[in-house]
Structure 1
Amino acid sequence: MVTPTSPQKRTIWPYAIIAAFVLFAGYIGYMVQQAMRTNVDLVSTDYYEQELAYQQRMESVARTAALPAPVQVAYDAAAQRITLELPAALAQQTVQGTLHFFRPSDQKLDFRLPFTPAGTPARQQLSTSKLQPGLWRLRVEFTAGGQQYFLEKELSI
């Protein structure tokens, strides 16, 4: 005698497991693609050389902090200018250095200018009319009386 066979029930578990693996692989592929498209530039091209000079920089920062009066950096938005003024203790000395305008969000906007304050008090003014609006870091490195000084100031233009 032949017994009737009942129709076999199909389970969806194998298909669900395969679909889960395919979706997971697709998600990982998408994340790898996004990571590869992201621009990850170092803040500066000579990062390692700057790190080696770290101790000298810290000594310059300490020397700047020990001045009798601070180096004044003032931004006047109405006049679109930055004024840098040295303390009176450095006014009689020959001062030479550089001003490094550093844009953390875009390395292409970074630039350097000479720092040569003149007059009494020793002061230098710079126009900011051509600077892109946003956060800037101004790094002032100068030498006066054979001593190196360093100051970093954040400016919002």
Structure 2
Amino acid sequence: MNWGTKIVIVFVLFAGLIVTLVTISMKQDVSLVAKDYYVQEIAYQDQIERIKNYKKLGAEQLRITYDDSRSVVVITAPGNHKREGEVHFFRPSDASLDSKYALKPNGDGHQYFDVKNFKKGLWKIKISWQENGREYYEEKTLVI
């Protein structure tokens, strides 16, 4: 085998490798974390203010707990139980699994979310609400 044949074989193998890599990369999901990611990024200073407002609450902060034995997420709102807002169960790896619920604690200040049907793995619980003319935001990472 002469050197010209070896060059052609190396070139064909290289071209095959490139075609394989392009095919694999075209099949990958390249969706953004959120559909309105850029709009959210522009308004992030407002989000920083919501987080600061939440930290100033002190003893009035929401508590988020996960009861593994019952597969239930419990949000406890001490003090004013009439907080209303939104609870967003966010799956970083797959936006199609995200779900949003209204934040409406019961008379005892608890709200229960059944997560038995949620896919196992990493979730972020994002809670935002407005109270007394101020906006608040809390986020907790949870592994189900």
Q: State the distance in 2 between where 1:32 and 1:130 align.
A: 36
CA–CA distance in structure 1, aligned partners of residues 3 and 120 of structure 2:
57
- Aligned pair 1:59/2:49, yes or no? yes
Paired position in structure 2 for 1:118: 106
Q: Measure, in 2, the Cα distance between the counterparts of 1:32 and 1:80.
A: 42
Q: Give me the whole-angstrom Cα distance separating, in 2, the residues matched to 1:139 and 1:132.
A: 17
Alignment match, 1:18:
8
Q: Structure 1: 5+ residue runs without aligned partners? A: 1-10
Q: TM-score, normalised by structure 2?
A: 0.90
1:148 lines up with 2:135 in the alignment: yes
Aligned residues: 143
Specify the alignment match of 1:7 in structure 2.
Answer: none
Q: Is 1:79 the equivalent of 2:70? A: yes
- Structure 1 ranges of 4+ moved more than 2 A: none
CA drift of 1:86 comes to 2.4
| Paired residues for 1:36-51 under 5 Å | 36-51=26-41
Q: What is the Cα deviation at residue 59 of structure 1?
A: 0.6
Gaps of 5+ in 2: none
Q: 1:95 aligns with which of 83, 93, 114?
A: 83
- TM-score norm. by structure 1 comes to 0.83
Q: Percent identity?
A: 35
